[in-house]
A = this chain, B = another copy of it.
Amino acid sequence: MRLRFWVDPRRLALPVTEAARDDPDPRDHRAAPGATRDRLIRVAGALFAERGFARASVRDICARAAANVAAVRYHFGSKEALYREVLLGSHRELRDREPIPRLADFRRPTDALRAWLGFVLRFLLLRRPAHSYAGQLIARELEQPTAALTDLVRLVMQPVRTELEHILGALLGDADSPARRAQLANFALGLCVFHEFGRPVLERFGHPPPTDEPGVDALADALASFIAAGTRALRHR
Among A30-38, A67-75, A119-127, A143-151, the stretch in contact with B: A143-151
Instruction: Tell me if A182 is interfacial: C-beta within 8 Å of chain B.
Output: yes
CA A142 to CA B149, docked complex, whole Å = 19
Task: Decide if A194 touches B205 in the complex (CB within 8 Å).
Answer: no
Residues of B within 8 A of A197 (CB): 142-143, 197
Residues of B within 8 A of A226 (CB): 184, 187, 230-231, 233-234
In the complex, the count of this chain's copies comes to 2
Digitize A68-85: 1 where CB-to-B-CB distance is under 8 Å, 0 elsewhere: 000000000000000000
Nearest chain B CB to A236's CB is how many angstroms away?
9
Task: Decide if A222 touches B205 in the complex (CB within 8 Å).
Answer: no
Most central of A142, A158, A185, A206 by chain B CB within 10 Å:
A142
Nearest chain B CB to A11's CB is how many angstroms away?
32
What secondary structure prevails in chain A residues at the interface with B? helix
| Interface range for A | 35 or more
Task: Decide if A183 touches B142 in the complex (CB within 8 Å).
Answer: no
Within 8 A of B (CB), among A174-193: 182-187, 189-191, 193
Task: Decide if B234 touches A225 in the complex (CB within 8 Å).
Answer: yes
CA A227 to CA B230, docked complex, whole Å = 6
Within 8 A of B (CB), among A33-78: 52, 54-55
Task: Decide if B193 touches A145 in the complex (CB within 8 Å).
Answer: no
Task: Decide if B233 touches A183 in the complex (CB within 8 Å).
Answer: no
Out of B145, B182, B227, name the residue touching A200 (CB < 8 Å). B145
Task: Decide if B234 touches A232 in the complex (CB within 8 Å).
Answer: no
27 pairs across A/B with beta carbons < 8 Å?
Answer: A54-B54, A142-B200, A142-B201, A143-B143, A143-B144, A143-B197, A145-B200, A149-B200, A149-B204, A153-B201, A153-B204, A157-B205, A182-B206, A185-B207, A186-B198, A186-B202, A187-B191, A187-B223, A189-B194, A190-B191, A190-B198, A193-B194, A225-B230, A226-B230, A228-B233, A229-B233, A230-B230
